[in-house]
């Protein structure tokens, strides 16, 4: 429809049918759809009656994944505002950049992590109001402003193509870019990937680690469950051991997390099981085949890999159940089309490596950045910056980030392919493969490896791992240099920062 408020579809609709259905489960208790609606309506009244929020105003949200954070998200949408959710780990400098870029006019923050945001405000030319939540009993807090407000609110009649949220990319390089998404886009991701690939049931309990500010988490923990009236387990701390503990304790059935987290939960899942878990989604990085296979062996669950991006809002290539081909990301999600392009933007025949391009009901709209827009979207195709091969059956095989391809002695080598082989070795916990400059070969392949406990970081292990790679894939791909480390650099969304390793090696 031309007029659509996604908050009404996700929240009001279910609350009007059954107020007592659980919406959010937390270690501290459950919020029903009715309770969540009441809170969101009260907050929407605070926003419009006390804080001057008008349709189109941008509201920054800061907090770990908890029900008040979600209630604020719904309240902003109900008031016709634009949500700018931010990662809990961001600091003053990054928050100040987002406040300026998104022209934020009000901030709502969990009081426990308000400090960095308050400091970001002090640096602004025109500081605006910062309201704290999860601070009941504190004068001026959101909870105190909510007292006495009615639990009803007339949702603003937004257009389907009014902006609902600005999501900043996690960006492995450079400053974060804002991407804009409409009310209809919020529902489109649920009606494509979730409905047709994930296929959840209303009695499912979703859970996962990504923060709401990462659209992978927003989809998996808020939009997908609430599209069908299901529940979501919200954990403020969701490191792999805590996530697994939460899954068992609360009977979660659907999990959204990164490939490394599945790998880190393996041992625990082998020993104590994975409770009632039945569906697992992995995104953010390519899912190594070794991780897919080990997880299936430990739990019986075939992980649903899917590539998505902040620009596209959520997952557009994926596969589930018998359609999965281990090692491949999958096929186009219904509603999307994708292909592989050469550098000139021409479609390549199946089997050739090139740039992944996609189009569908969602797409890239950078906030006030026409140059970047031209870089991501050309001829209507969204070009994600990933190198892929599509096979004869339509399956897409991830190779590398286009700028992570290694050219060594004239050979094209995809770092992740070498990583996947190393991960199959019992000694390897985690690894990253990069190209480092070399006079003779242009670049040589280098692996930075985190070893499993009890494995010696010595030249014997280097030789063992090199021989292992040479035996498994074309020998020219083996890492000529192997370095051992205690931990790999990652973004808050769990992405490996290969560029940082490249900088260190340079």
Which residues of the chain form contacts with ligand 3UK (CB under 6 A)? Answer: 169-170, 215-216, 283-286, 305-310, 314-315, 329, 384-386, 398, 401, 493
Q: Is residue 69 within 8 Å of residue 61, measured between CB atoms?
A: yes
H or E element: which one contains 304?
Answer: strand 304-308
Please state the closest distance from residue 334 (CB atom) to ligand 3UK, in A: 16
Please state the closest distance from residue 309 (CB atom) to ligand 3UK, in A: 4
Residue number, 80 or 435, with CB nearest to ligand 3UK: 435
> Angle formed by the axes of helices 415-423 and 459-472, to 10°?
110
CA proximity to 354, closest of 379, 388, 380, 324 = 388
Rounded to the nearest angstrom, the gap between the alpha carbon of residue 13 and the centroid of all alpha carbons in its chain is 26
Please state the closest distance from residue 6 (CB atom) to ligand 3UK, in A: 17
Residue number, 41 or 172, with CB nearest to ligand 3UK: 172
Residue number, 378 or 464, with CB nearest to ligand 3UK: 378
Please state the closest distance from residue 391 (CB atom) to ligand 3UK, in A: 16
For residue 201 the two structure tokens come to: 């049931």
Residue number, 41 or 170, with CB nearest to ligand 3UK: 170
Helices (H), ranges, 11-114: 13-17, 33-45, 67-78, 92-101
One-letter-per-residue 3-state SS of 24-48: EEECCEEEEHHHHHHHHHHHHHHHH
Residue number, 335 or 385, with CB nearest to ligand 3UK: 385
Q: Which residue of the chain is nearest ligand 3UK when measured via CB? A: 308
Residue number, 142 or 333, with CB nearest to ligand 3UK: 333
Q: Is residue 26 within 8 Å of residue 67, measured between CB atoms?
A: yes
Q: How far from each other are the two terminal CA atoms of the chain, in whole angstroms?
A: 54
Please state the closest distance from residue 153 (CB atom) to ligand 3UK, in A: 29
Please give the Cα distance from 253 to 269 (Å, whole number).
Answer: 14
Q: Is residue 306 within 8 Å of residue 315, measured between CB atoms?
A: yes
Please state the closest distance from residue 385 (CB atom) to ligand 3UK, in A: 6
Residue number, 80 or 88, with CB nearest to ligand 3UK: 88
Please state the closest distance from residue 34 (CB atom) to ligand 3UK, in A: 30
């Amino acid at each position: 429809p031309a007029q659509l408020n996604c908050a009404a579809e996700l929240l009001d609709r279910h609350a009007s049918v059954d107020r007592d259905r659980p919406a959010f489960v937390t270690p501290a208790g459950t919020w029903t759809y009715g309770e969540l609606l009441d809170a969101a309506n009260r907050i929407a009244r605070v926003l419009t009656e006390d804080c001057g929020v008008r349709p189109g105003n941008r509201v920054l949200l800061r907090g770990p994944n908890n029900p008040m954070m979600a209630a604020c998200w719904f309240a902003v949408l109900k008031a016709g505002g634009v949500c700018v959710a931010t990662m809990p780990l961001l600091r003053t400098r990054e928050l100040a950049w987002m406040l300026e870029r998104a022209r934020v006019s009000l901030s709502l923050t969990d009081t426990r992590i308000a400090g960095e945001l308050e400091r970001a405000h002090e640096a602004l030319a025109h500081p605006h109001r910062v309201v704290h939540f999860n601070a009941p009993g504190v004068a001026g807090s959101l909870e105190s402003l909510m007292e006495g407000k009615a639990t009803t609110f007339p949702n603003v009649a937004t257009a389907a193509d009014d902006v609902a949220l600005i999501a900043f990319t996690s960006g492995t390089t450079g400053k974060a870019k804002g991407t804009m998404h409409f009310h209809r886009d919020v529902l489109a991701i649920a009606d494509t990937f979730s409905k047709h690939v994930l296929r959840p049931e209303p009695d499912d309990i979703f859970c996962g680690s990504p923060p709401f500010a990462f659209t992978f988490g927003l989809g998996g923990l808020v939009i997908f469950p609430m599209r069908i009236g299901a529940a979501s387990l919200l954990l403020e701390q969701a490191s792999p051991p805590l996530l697994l503990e939460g899954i068992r304790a609360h009977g979660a059935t659907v999990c959204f997390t990164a490939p490394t987290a599945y790998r880190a939960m393996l041992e625990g899942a082998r020993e104590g099981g994975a409770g009632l878990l039945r569906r697992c989604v992995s995104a953010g990085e390519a899912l190594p085949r070794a991780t897919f296979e080990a997880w299936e062996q430990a739990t019986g669950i075939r992980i649903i890999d899917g590539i998505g991006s902040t620009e596209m809002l959520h997952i557009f290539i994926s596969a589930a159940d018998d359609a999965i081909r281990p090692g491949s990301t999958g096929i186009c999600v219904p509603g999307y089309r994708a292909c592989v392009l050469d550098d000139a933007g021409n479609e390549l025949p199946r089997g050739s490596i090139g740039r992944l391009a996609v189009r569908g009901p969602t797409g890239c709209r950078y906030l006030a950045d026409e140059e970047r827009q031209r870089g991501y979207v050309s001829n209507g195709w969204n070009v994600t910056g990933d190198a892929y091969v599509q096979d004869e059956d339509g399956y897409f095989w991830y190779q590398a980030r286009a700028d992570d391809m290694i050219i060594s002695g004239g050979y094209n080598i995809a770092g992740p392919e070498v990583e996947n082989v190393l991960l199959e070795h019992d000694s390897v916990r985690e690894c990253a493969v990069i190209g480092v400059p070399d006079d003779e070969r242009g670049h040589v392949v280098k692996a930075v490896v985190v070893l499993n406990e009890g494995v010696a970081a010595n030249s014997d292990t280097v030789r063992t791992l090199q021989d292992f790679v040479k035996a498994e894939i074309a020998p020219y791909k083996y890492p000529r240099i192997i370095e051992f480390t205690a931990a790999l650099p990652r973004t808050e969304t769990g992405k490996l920062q290969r560029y940082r390793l490249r900088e260190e090696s340079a």
